[in-house]
Structure 1
């Protein structure tokens, strides 16, 4: 048996509005993250290897991260509960680390700039949309 995988960027029309909005918000957060990385990546702070090797390594890691991030959002659109759980776990982790850095370093820190805080707020809103009762029921209906 060969499994088929479709590229589903947004949930189907019968999905609850909260799931559709949550997925759209996750795509928005994905775009913001990609834009922040592309515009903010400078020379990596590696002293033991050459700049070229560091840049290639960083590009490979970032590419793998963004491919997996997009894949997870597409599986979330398809109604996969593991994708919802992973998205909620990562969102919770990012919110916790941002709150920690906010109290430890202050708002003026490089990690706690306004765009970063807005991105975290947007991700939190998307996570909350996936936790509504209608969303939970829709994901459970997709298991069978």
Structure 2
């Protein structure tokens, strides 16, 4: 084998290894990604039924119910609502009427079971996705996005 053929074989082998590594990384990222959905999108069936995702908006006033470590509450975008069940300790800043994002999935009965709950960190902050959803929900139907 000549020198240029060896170099060509090394370059082709390197590109193939890079392609395989890239495919594995992208597959891992895609399978672990939790996409954000609004309660309106969840009610519309846009959220996945078989994998984890995030739902965010405001915690509806009067919806917080505690039973030892299990907490039930409702996240709303002022148009639709998603009931959430979470077992664990809520963040200190979590409260009714404030922004929150819950990550989880639907169980066999179709209820959203959260594995983590995030709350806003100061009185001016809301996750950008949640703020955008609330802004869109406030627009009249058919308004430009």
- TM-score w.r.t. the length of structure 2 is 0.23
Higher strand share: 2
Higher helix share: 1
- TM-score w.r.t. the length of structure 1 is 0.24
Point out the structure with max Rg over C-alpha: 2
